[in-house]
Chains A and B, each alone.
Chain A
Amino acid sequence: MRVTRINKKDSAPKAESKVDLKLIEPLIKKYKNKKGNLIPLLQGTQNLFGYIPPEAMLLLSRETGLKISDMYGVATFYAQFRLNPVGKHIVKICHGTACHVQNAKAVTEDLQNFLEVKDGGTTPDNIFTLETVACLGCCSLAPVMMIGEETYGKLNGKKAVEVIKEIKRKETLNQKKSLTENISKN
């Protein structure tokens, strides 16, 4: 079924929330009192924060009069919405028919083992979130995964892990760079 129950443990806020609710204001202005505004509001919120923070839902409800229960119902119904923060890079592995036939499962397993997360999970360093999706529409390049806007085709487990390693290497470099910059500033 589409709706999956969320464990209390999972839904508890993981980190001190640093959500700037002011960002939502233009969104509310745009959609307030319009028919069918619930989904665009949630989509807009997610575009701002990468997920839908509980406090954003409360604010939306206060400002627009939409019911929190309706919002929560919609947010848990559609695959697009997330209620938890995600990593910097979302790795979407295609599990469409063409990819399945070309052994997408092996790609997923290798990535899960490498990142040590399950489907939908985020790595502890908040760099990667792993997701399996139904179809990215690049069937002739199967198996496929998508990271950000970039699509990688004709994969196997090894190639996919290489891509991740490369991104990770860049991230660590960036981190080091900003660290040294901070130190030199201070």
Chain B
Amino acid sequence: MAQTKVIVGLGSCGIAAGAGKVYEELQRIKVADNLDFELKKTSCIGMCFKEPLVEIIDETGSYLYGEVDSKKADEIIEKHIVNFTPVKEYIVKSDTTETKFDHYFEGQVKIALRNCGYIDPENIDEYEARGGYQAIKKIANERIGVQEVIKSILDSGLRGRGGGGFPTGLKWKFANNNRSKEKYIICNADEGDPGAFMDRSVLEGDPHSVLEGMIIGAYAIGASDGVIYCRAEYPLAIKRLNIAIAQARDKGYLGKDILGIEGFDFDLYIKEGAGAFVCGEETALIASVEGERGMPRKRPPFPAVSGLWRKPTNINNVETYANIPWIISNGAKEYAKYGTEKSKGTKVFALTGKIKNGGLVEVPMGITIKDIIYKLGGGIIDDKKFKAVQLGGPSGGCIPEYLSHTIVDYDSVNATGAIMGSGGMVVMDETTCMVDIARFFLEFTCKESCGKCTFCRVGTKRMLEILTRITEGDGREGDIEKLEELAYQIKDGSLCGLGQTAPNPVLTTIKYFRDEYEAHIRDKKCPALNCKKLLTYEIIEDKCTGCMVCKRGCPTKAISGEKKMPHFIDQELCIKCGDCYSKCKFDSIKIF
């Protein structure tokens, strides 16, 4: 009889939700009660909305328990392990029974995330047991040539998952074509988009898949050195990568004459980013690896010709590399079965915002946005009205509800004015103000602009000033047109992707939510009741009991009224701090 396994999900988000304490508790119970089960660690399976997660695998099947705390852990062990009765009400996924969350996994195809949540990321044997390092072994054993590897990647139709969508095979071909003694391969793990965390999840959950992808890439382009440029904000990912690299060296997947392929020497190291969004751009990233300020360079020459230390360099992002071993093992055709004509395979999305089931999902290209939000994500929190979805972070845009039938592929998303980006999908409901969202992203890009190009440096600042004044009630006629004019100038006058795409959030919100801008500027109203300075607070006389709580708390003494008599807000004195609204127990303050 196989030993029962108890596996705790210890990704960053799991730990933040308290999985570390659950693990300690399970360990304590195991020792204290002398129970016979194997306690193991894994990473994130993508069900972030149910963290912390604990999976029990016994001879009857697998049972994933959600929202486990120390108390529930006690109960689950007592009932499931000791008395052999699974605790049905906490199960969120199982191969023996149906649960109400099965829809979350239906429609998902896990290729990049194939091992996340299934293996211990700190154990190379578990990666190998699930077919890991078979792709590079296949290349070595079957003596697959460099050109054939590149052709496989070309045929698979894989495009850069970092957001650009450039065909990966083509990139490899260019880097391969350039003759040089020294060549470099870089993994871009500087996941800077606020609202995106799929690369972190892959690095934490399955670091070896990225290493194997890079090793295959190095073989294809002829690189001998690799760099993983990882955000310093991801300490757990860096720790697990370091462990993975050491294990890969021990097993001979890194080093000299790898797997007996003569002359194939390759090793890599991690370079910690120092916190600059612009370093996600490949030439800025190279500058940063070289120890300079992360400022983009002019292209051409492209990195494939002159990159790191002026040598031919290939850069792909984490998710792209994670796909590579699967493609080599299963064949390009198998990969190209998924997706649309021009966008093949799958894409991982970080589903966040006002969504019921937030987390990581991997879906085949061609699925509609609506299906992701309603079928997988379970709809909007509190069943409020779905307003828009933000794709592509600060470089992307907002797609309104009426375009939610848009399918997910590079070209269809681009046609809306947004971009696919790295895969952040932030869902917004009727309480989100679109002008404020545009301002939020502009504030981000303005701060993150490296300052090299005047239009990006000064232009984003001017746009931010205009947007700020609109949200504060000082918007003027002509502001929208001025924003548009500046937007196109910044797009045309910037060297790198940051500036070229920075105006996208503004342009898409103007395109789809112009009425909201106009309400702010002309009527001095925020339809989503979000922009504080544009709100009016009023006491509903019939509801007010005269309890005096609001009066006592008002910092400007704008509220007057006698005890047990309806109160009144003096609009001249009101600074719209919202204190009275949050304190009133009788819902007698209305905002409009």
Contact = CB atoms under 8 A, between A and B. Distances in A.
A151 B12 CA distance: 9
B16 A141 contact: yes
A139 B193 contact: no
A2 B393 contact: no
A80 B272 CA distance: 11
Contacts of B441: 97
B291 A139 contact: no
B196 A135 contact: yes
A11 to B, nearest CB: 19
B440 A100 contact: yes
B497 to A, nearest CB: 16
A137 B203 CA distance: 13
A95 B193 CA distance: 11
B195 A2 contact: no
B449 interface: yes
A79 interface: yes
A19 B428 CA distance: 49
B136 interface: no
Interface residues of B, number: 59
A134 B197 CA distance: 12
Contacts of B457: 1
B509 interface: no
A141 B13 contact: yes
A137 B353 contact: no
Interface stretch (A36-44, A167-175, A178-186): A36-44
A2 B276 CA distance: 8
A43 B48 contact: no
B232 A80 contact: yes
A35 B309 contact: yes
B289 interface: yes
A42 B293 CA distance: 13
A1 B290 CA distance: 21
B276 A98 contact: no
Contact of B450 (A2, A95, A98, A101): A2
Interface in A13-65: 35-40, 42-43
A154 to B, nearest CB: 9
Contacts of B432: 101
Contacts of B449: 1-2
Interface in A60-84: 70, 73-74, 77-81
Given A38-B291, A43-B274, A140 B13 contact: yes
B390 to A, nearest CB: 6
Interface string B223-239: 00000000011110000
Interface string A131-154: 001111111111010000101110
Given A2-B447, A37-B291, A141-B13, A43 B234 contact: no
B229 to A, nearest CB: 11
A7 B294 CA distance: 23
Contacts of A35: 290-291, 309
A135 B293 contact: no
B570 to A, nearest CB: 24
Contacts of B289: 36
A36 B287 CA distance: 9
A20 B280 CA distance: 35
Contacts of B276: 2, 77-79
Contacts of A152: 16
Given A2-B450, A36-B290, A39-B291, A97 B16 contact: no
Interface in A104-146: 133-142, 144
A114 B200 CA distance: 33
Interface string B453-478: 00001000100000000000000000
B275 A135 contact: no
B292 A79 contact: no
B386 interface: no
Given A1-B449, A139-B350, A98 B274 contact: no
Given A100-B440, A134-B192, A139 B358 contact: yes
B12 A2 contact: no
B448 interface: yes
B451 interface: yes
B358 A140 contact: yes
Contacts of A149: 235
A163 to B, nearest CB: 13
B359 interface: yes
A79 B234 CA distance: 15
Contacts of B16: 138, 141, 144, 151-153
Interface in B348-381: 350, 352-354, 358-359
Nearest to B276: A78
A42 B272 CA distance: 12
Given A80-B274, A141-B17, A2 B353 contact: no
A36 B310 CA distance: 13
A70 B59 CA distance: 62
A79 B275 contact: yes
B275 A137 contact: no
Nearest to A136: B233
B191 interface: yes
Contacts of B437: 100-101
Interface string B276-310: 11100000000011111110000000000000010
B288 A139 contact: no
Interface string B191-218: 1111111001000000000000000000
B17 A153 contact: yes
A134 B279 CA distance: 14
B278 A2 contact: yes
A40 B271 CA distance: 8
Contacts of A97: 194-195, 352-353, 390, 393, 424, 426, 440-441
A144 B17 CA distance: 11
B71 to A, nearest CB: 18
Nearest to B424: A97
Nearest to A139: B352
B293 A74 contact: yes
Interface centre among A139, A152, A153 (most CB of B within 10 A): A139
Given A1-B451, A135-B193, A78 B428 contact: no
Contacts of B451: 1-3
A166 B544 CA distance: 36
Nearest to B197: A137
Given A97-B393, A97-B426, 9 more contacts: A2-B451, A35-B290, A39-B274, A43-B232, A78-B294, A135-B193, A138-B197, A140-B49, A140-B51
22 contacts: A1-B447, A2-B276, A35-B309, A39-B288, A40-B272, A42-B274, A43-B232, A73-B293, A77-B293, A77-B450, A96-B195, A97-B353, A97-B441, A100-B440, A101-B428, A101-B432, A137-B234, A139-B196, A139-B358, A140-B352, A144-B16, A151-B16
Q: Which 5 A-B pairs have the closest CB atoms?
A: A96-B194, A140-B48, A79-B275, A151-B16, A97-B195
